[in-house]
Amino acid sequence: MELQYFAFLQHFMRFNRQVYLDHNATTPVSDRVRKKMERVLKSQYGNPSSFYGLGRESARLVEQAREQVAKVLHADPAEVIFTSCASESNNAVLKSVTAHYYPRRKKIVSTPIEHPSVMNTLAYLETQGVIIDYCPVDDKGRVRLAELEKRVDDDTFLVCCMLANNETGVIQDLKAVARIARQRGALVLTDCVQALGKIPIDLHAWDVDYASFSAHKLYGPKGVGALYVKQGSPFTPYLHGGHQESGLRAGTESIHNIVGFGAACQQVDKLLTHAGQTRALKRQLIQRLKEIKPDCVINSPETESECLPNTLSVTFPGVENAGLMGMLDYRGIAVSAGSACSTGEDTPSHVLKAIGLSDQAARETIRISLGADTSARDIRYMAQVAQDYFEGRVSFVNMLAPAQLNENILFDEKTYILDVRPPDDRKRFKGLPNAHEVNPLRVENYLKQLPRDKEILVYCPGGGLSIMISYYLKSKGFKRVMNLRGGLDGWRKRRSDLYEKYAGQNVTVLEPDKIN
C-alpha cells in the first residue's frame, strides 16, 4: 500500500525538485523538534496525572513546554492552555465567552477575513441569537479602525480580530483594536496562528484577553495548539472531563506533541532573525513576477511592516489558478490557491472578496508562502516554471467551464468521465451521470482501464484535486484530458437543471487494475 502511494508521489518528483512554498498551510517538523519528540515517544509514556515517578516526569515535561511557549508570547505560563489545535482554541473562546455574557450583552464584532475556524463558529453563534457584526477592511485587508470604533458599542462583549491573515499576510494594528474594545468594556480574542515565528508577539503589551496558536505552522507537530487566556479573563471549559490543564481543558495531555510545541518555540528567536532574509527573497520574487507578468496584481500589503515577511498573494489576470497550480505541482512546486477551490468548494476566497477582488480575480490568485528553508534557487525555479506556463511552453490540460458541461458532452461516446471525488463528497452529493469512480489517492492503480482513444473529463468537488490528477494523466501519455473547472460544486450551481435531471445516473465504480 505504502509503495503504491509512493509511486503516485514519485510522478510528482520526476523533475527531481520539490519546492515547498506553502508554509502558511503547514511547515515541516524541524529536526530538533522531531528528535525531542522521538525521545518522549520512546520512553516518556507516563500519564502526567499519575503520581509515581514516570507520571511526574511527564508532568514536568508538560510544564517545561508551557514555560517555553509562554516565553515567546510574553505571557505567564499559567495563562497558557494546551489544546489539540488552533481551531479548538478559537472555538473554545468564542463559545465560552458567549456563554458568559449572552444575553446580557449580545454582540461580537469581528472582521470578514478571519480563518474558517472563527468564521464558521461565528456563523453558528449567529444561529443561537448572537449578533455578529463584521467590520470592513480596506483593499489591503487592514481593519478600518474608524469603522470599528463605530461598531463596538455597549452591547458588544467580544472583539475578534486576527493578528495576521493566512492568505494575504496583512498584519493588524492589534494595540489599536484592543484599545477600541476596552473603551466599551469588550474582551479581545486574536488569532495569532500565522504570526508566531514570523513577527514578534507581545500579548501583555497588546492587552488582549485571548489568543490562539498552532504548533504545525512553526516547524512543530500537527495536533497541538495553545490558547492564551489572560489572568482574570472569563473562561469556562469547552471539553469537560478530567482536571488536566488546571481543569480548563480535559483530556490526557499529548506529551510528545506538547514537548514538540515547546521545542518549536525555542526556535522562535532564530526564526525572527531569519525573517529579514525571507523578506528579501519575497522582494526578489515579486520583482521577478512583475517582469514575467507585468499586469500581475500584488494583493498583499507592500509596506513591509504591514505584511508577514513570508506571504505573498498575487493575481495573474487571465490565468486560472487551478491550471497554474496543477502545472506547478506537476513540476514539484507546492503553492496554494487564493480561492477555496483546493478545499473542495468552488467558492472564491472570502478574504479576497473582502479586500475587493471579483470572483474571477479570486480564481486567478495564488498564495505563495516562503519558509525558513526557502532558497533563492527555489524562487528562481518557481518563477521560471510560471513563465513557461504563461508563455505557453507547456502541454496544457483543457479546462471546461461548468456552464459548458451540457448533455452533448455528458452523453458523448467519446467522453470518458472520471470521478476523483473523496468518499465523503460522494456520500453528500450524487455525481455526474456516466461517471467512473476511482480512489483519488490511488489513480495509478486504474491506468490500464482508462481509455486512450477518448477524452477523459476529470472532476472533483471544487476543481483543485482534479487538475492535479489531470496533469498526472497527461504525464502518463493520455493525450486528451479535460478538467471540470469549479468541479461538481460549480456545475451543481450553474447547471442545477441538468443536476436535478441526471445526477447519479449510470455510475460505475472501478476496481483497481489487476496486477499480472
| Residues carrying an active site annotation | 341
Taking the least distance from each CB to ligand PLP, the nearer of 220 and 462 is 220
- CB of 387: closest distance to ligand PLP in angstroms? 29
| Binding flag, residue 117, ligand PLP (CB under 6 A) | yes
**Four-CA torsion 300, 305, 308, 314, nearest 10 degrees:** 20
Cα torsion 350, 354, 358, 360: sign: negative
| Binding-site member from 85, 189, 258, 484 for ligand PLP (CB under 6 A) | 85
What is the DSSP annotation of 443-480?
A: GGGSGGGS-SSSEEEEE-SSSHHHHHHHHHHHHTT---
Site for ligand PLP contains 91 (CB under 6 A): no
Cell 496486477 belongs to residue:
515
> Does residue 97 belong to the site contacting ligand PLP (CB under 6 A)?
no
Of the residues 30, 58, 87, 257, which one makes contact with ligand PLP according to CB under 6 A: 87
Beta strand 107-110 with 365-369 is unpaired
* Smallest distance from ligand PLP to CB 370, Å: 15
Nearer to ligand PLP, 156 or 336 (CB): 336
495 binds ligand PLP (CB under 6 A): no
Of the listed pieces 15-23, 82-90, 181-189, 463-471, which binds ligand PLP according to CB under 6 A? 82-90
Closer by beta carbon to ligand PLP, 87 or else 300: 87
- Please give the helix or strand (H or E) that residue 72 lies within, else none: helix 53-73
β-bridge partners, 108? 132, 158
Check residue 77 and report its DSSP letter.
G
At 317, is the secondary structure helix, strand, or coil? coil
Residue with Cβ nearer ligand PLP (91 or 470): 91
Report in angstroms how near the CB of residue 469 gets to ligand PLP at its nearest. 24
Nearest approach, Cβ of residue 310 and ligand PLP (Å): 13
Q: How far is the CB of 308 from ligand PLP (least distance, A)?
A: 11
The three-point CA angle 130-136-137 to 5° equals: 135
Per-residue mark of binding to ligand PLP, 183-202 (x: CB under 6 A): --------x-xx--------
Please identify, using beta-carbon distances, which residue of 87 and 321 lies nearer to ligand PLP.
87
Q: Tell which positions 59-78 bind ligand PLP, by CB under 6 A.
A: none
Q: Kindly tell me which of 225 and 301 has the beta carbon lying closer to ligand PLP.
A: 225
Q: Report the DSSP pairing between strands 455-459 and 481-484.
A: parallel
Nearer to ligand PLP, 344 or 433 (CB): 344
- Beta-carbon contacts of 229 under 8 Å, excluding residues fewer than 6 positions away, are 79, 81, 93, 209, 210, 235, 248
The mark string for 205-244 relative to ligand PLP (x by CB under 6 A, - otherwise) is ---------x----------x-------------------
Cell of 376: 533563492
Distance of closest approach, residue 367 Cβ to ligand PLP, in angstroms: 11
166 binds ligand PLP (CB under 6 A): yes
Residue 125 interacting with ligand PLP (CB under 6 A) = no
Angle between helices 86-101 and 116-127 (to 10 degrees): 30
Q: Which amino acid is at 346?
A: D
Q: Contact 113/350 with Cβ under 8 angstroms?
A: yes
Are 454 and 490 within 8 A, CB to CB?
A: no
Q: By the 8 A CB rule, do 95 and 288 touch?
A: no
Question: At closest approach, how far in Å is the CB of 394 from ligand PLP?
Answer: 30
308 binds ligand PLP (CB under 6 A): no
How many residues bind ligand PLP (CB under 6 A)? The answer is 12
Identify the residue among 69, 93, 135, 162 touching ligand PLP (CB under 6 A).
Answer: 162
What cell numbers appear for 202 in the block?
Answer: 507581545
For position 171 contacting ligand PLP by CB under 6 A, the verdict is no
When the beta carbons of 96 and 166 are compared against ligand PLP, the nearer one is: 166
Residue 365 is a binding residue for ligand PLP (CB under 6 A): no
86 belongs to the binding site for ligand PLP (CB under 6 A): yes
Residue 21 or 85: the one with the smaller Cβ distance to ligand PLP is 85
CB of 325 to ligand PLP, least distance (A): 17
- Give the burial class of 32: count Cβ atoms within 10 A of its Cβ; 0-12 exposed, 13-18 middle, 19 or more buried: middle
Query: What is the full DSSP assignment across 142-188?
Result: -B-HHHHHHH--TTEEEEE--SB-TTT-BB--HHHHHHHHHHTT-EE
The full length of the chain comes to 516
**Phi-psi category of residue 275: left, alpha or beta, with phi > 0 → left and psi -120 to 50 → alpha:** alpha
Position 110 contacts ligand PLP (CB under 6 A):
no
Which residues contact ligand PLP (rule: CB under 6 A)? 85-87, 115, 117, 162, 166, 191, 193-194, 214, 225
